């Protein structure tokens, strides 16, 4: 398919349709970010009403995914895109799938806010909220990288996940110690464990989106490659 010298697609209508899809992805990302923000605030403030709101609003995220999925399918059917346009659509398909799964994990996190914890257990919720803030920052950063198609920022996000994993493992050790010291606490603490696991998975999803940004810009699938190989892809593509 032909391109102009400026790199703009020859069909201005197609360009506009691609822009609309991209904006829809960013709107979906904004909704997912809000959901996670509210879930963490609900935990911090023991706000059952806000937790219920997070649970009920998950349908918005699902609707975004279905609408964007349909829009991308229509673009492929009508326009038969090739090269970078096709990469952008493929990256979009993958990105919205991960954003939808982040929404699912956020529902599990919000569920903890509906539980009642003793004053002695509050520090465990504080640790969960701290981990959550790190993951929330990671999500915001990768959404910004997607918005600007900034592969350097995407690379930084990918590196950040290692720190998330380390904090998650440290928190697990803390939770296991607490359960051994007080077996009666096991049911409640397991809820915290599952929520921490959900946060760790959100970090993994953010890492995936970072990989899609690099793929979209440079045309190379960097999944399951070494950090050095990924860095080389970004550096050489500048």
The whole-number pLDDT of residue 238 equals 62
Spans of all domains in the chain: 12-230
**Cα angle, residue 9 at apex, residues 5 and 12 outer, rounded to 5°:** 120
The CATH number given to 12-230 is: 1.20.58.220
Q: How far is CA 186 from CA 122, 150, 179, in A?
A: 15, 44, 5
Of the candidates 167, 42, 45, 172, the one whose C-alpha atom is nearest the C-alpha of residue 108 is 42
pLDDT tens-digit series, residues 150-192: 999 999 999 999 999 999 999 999 899 988 988 888 888 899 9
Listed as own residue / partner, the contacts of 59-62 with beta carbons closer than 8 Å and 24 or more positions apart are 60/31, 61/28, 61/31, 61/32, 61/35, 61/99, 61/100, 61/103, 62/100, 62/103
Give the pLDDT confidence of 35-68 residue by residue, as tens digits: 999 999 999 998 999 999 999 999 999 999 999 9
CA–CA gap between residue 168 and residue 135 (Å, rounded): 11
What element of type H or E holds 223?
none
- Per-residue pLDDT, 10: 52
Is pTM, for the whole model, over 0.75?
A: yes
Percent of the chain clearing pLDDT 70 (strictly above): 95
Using 50, 70 and 90 to split pLDDT, how confident is the model at 115? Answer: confident
Q: Average pLDDT over the chain, rounded to whole?
A: 90
- pLDDT one-digit tens code per residue, 85-101: 999 999 999 999 999 99
What is the predicted pLDDT for the residue at 9?
A: 46
**11 pLDDT above the threshold of 90:** no
């Amino acid at each position: 398919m032909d391109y102009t010298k400026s790199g703009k697609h020859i069909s201005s209508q197609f360009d506009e349709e691609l822009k609309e899809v991209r904006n829809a992805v960013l709107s979906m990302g904004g909704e997912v970010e809000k959901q996670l923000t509210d879930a963490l605030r609900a935990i911090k403030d023991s706000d059952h009403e806000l937790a219920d709101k997070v649970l009920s609003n998950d349908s918005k995220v699902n609707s975004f995914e279905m609408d964007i999925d349909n829009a991308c399918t229509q673009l492929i059917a009508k326009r038969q895109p090739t090269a970078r346009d096709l990469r952008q659509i493929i990256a979009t398909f993958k990105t919205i799938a991960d954003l939808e799964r982040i929404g699912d994990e956020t529902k599990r996190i919000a569920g903890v806010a509906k539980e009642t914890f003793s004053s002695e257990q509050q520090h465990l919720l504080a640790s969960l909220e701290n981990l959550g803030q790190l993951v929330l920052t990671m999500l915001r950063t990768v959404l910004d990288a997607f918005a600007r198609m900034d592969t350097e920022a995407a690379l930084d996000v990918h590196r950040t996940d290692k720190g998330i994993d380390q904090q998650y493992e440290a928190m697990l050790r803390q939770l296991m110690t607490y359960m051994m010291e007080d077996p009666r606490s096991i049911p409640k603490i397991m809820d915290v464990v599952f929520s921490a696991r959900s946060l760790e998975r959100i970090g993994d999803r953010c890492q995936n989106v970072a990989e899609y940004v690099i793929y979209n810009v440079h045309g190379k699938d960097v999944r399951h490659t070494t950090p050095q190989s990924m860095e080389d892809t970004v550096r050489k593509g500048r």
